Amino acid sequence: MLPAWDNGGIASTLDWMKPLPVRALALIAAVALLGACTDNAPNENAGSPGASFNEDFTDVEAYPVFVSSEIVVGRNRLLVGLLSGENDAPIASPDIDMAISFFDLEKSARTPVAIERMDFVWTQKPRAGLYVEEVTFDSAGRWGAEVSLNGEGVDETVRANFDVTEQASTPAVGERPPAVDTPTASDVKRLGAISTDSHPDPRFYRMSIAEALRSGRPSVITFATPKFCESATCGPTLDIVKRVSDGFPDMSFVHVEPYKLPIRAERKVVPAALRWGLPTEPWVFVVGSDGRVAAKFEGIVGAPELRRALNEL
């Protein structure tokens, strides 16, 4: 099961990002991206302060839900949503501050390894938003999170736990991603045959992934399906990438639909999405001139966040 908040089997969903079909992805054993796993296995801290990380979210004003589909050893772009304790409805407000203390429960449930203040980013303004921050985990296993919330009448601290795995399914930062031959404008009569973007930028369809990786120039690879993304975040994500691309004319930009077009009743995942191990969509990968992944973003990515990654190449 994908990493998720584990709190006594509570399964609430923020349906802002939809997983790719499970049957089409042999590498991903997923049920629902944002649900809570029902793993109540005891850990060595049972009966100690660590046991508090296993408590249910009851009688709370608000509680977090872990959105990232892969949490691994090393640097992670952590995505966290917020739900109402009253009715499990999504809460989206930049005026609610979130800070998280992280505990390696296999070492200590009393002393946090790190404390991070999360940044809020809109995913569908003004209806939906998430918290994001770069977090590094130095070991695999069960981790705890003490989440402090403050603002707009919310003053709450809750605890949860999650698992960190050794490896991600998508190409890791520093790795060379698969050089896949994806469709380009030269392969079709109209861009609508390879893109569901209502206003496709021709620059995004000049090269295949393989050509971009061989070009010797930095590139941005975006997997998104604007028309069929059930969360409605693929279109906004691709629009952000298009706007940012105007400031980087010497870089290669490639948009790939994760599903074969035209989409049928049962969606067929394209080889590129399978080779890149995508558990969800959308995804944005920044690849350096050396052909290695320099940064990657699951779900919505803010323009400043993406520009910063490109300026660092």
Q: What is the pLDDT of residues 179-195, one digit of tens each?
A: 999 999 999 999 999 99
Residue 20, pLDDT score: 54
Please report the pLDDT score of residue 209 as a whole number. 98
pLDDT of residue 54: 85
Q: Is the pLDDT of residue 44 over 70?
A: no
Asked whether residue 141 carries a pLDDT value surpassing 60, the answer given is yes
User: What is the DSSP secondary structure assignment for residue 121, as one 8-state letter?
Assistant: E
Provide the β-strand partners of residue 137.
Answer: 74
Is residue 43 within 8 Å of 106, Cβ to Cβ? yes
What fold characterizes domain 185-311?
Answer: Glutaredoxin (3.40.30)
Q: Report pTM.
A: 0.82
**For the chain, which residues make up each domain, given as ranges?**
18-164, 185-311
185-311 and 18-164 share a CATH fold? no
Residue 52 has pLDDT above 70, yes or no: yes
On average, the pLDDT of the chain sits at 84
- pLDDT higher at 6 or 108: 108
State yes or no: cis peptide before 90, omega within 30 of 0: no
Alpha helices by DSSP H, listed for 17-124, are none
Task: Tell me which CATH code domain 18-164 carries.
Answer: 2.60.40
**Which pLDDT tens digit goes with each residue over 212-255?**
999 999 999 999 999 988 667 899 999 999 999 999 999 999 99
As a whole number of Å, the CA-based R_g of the chain is 20
CB contact set of 279 (below 8 Å; sequence gap of 6+): 2, 19, 20, 25, 28, 30, 33, 69, 70, 169, 170
**In this model, does residue 306 exceed pLDDT 70?**
yes
**Confidence label for 132 from pLDDT (cuts 50, 70 and 90):** very high
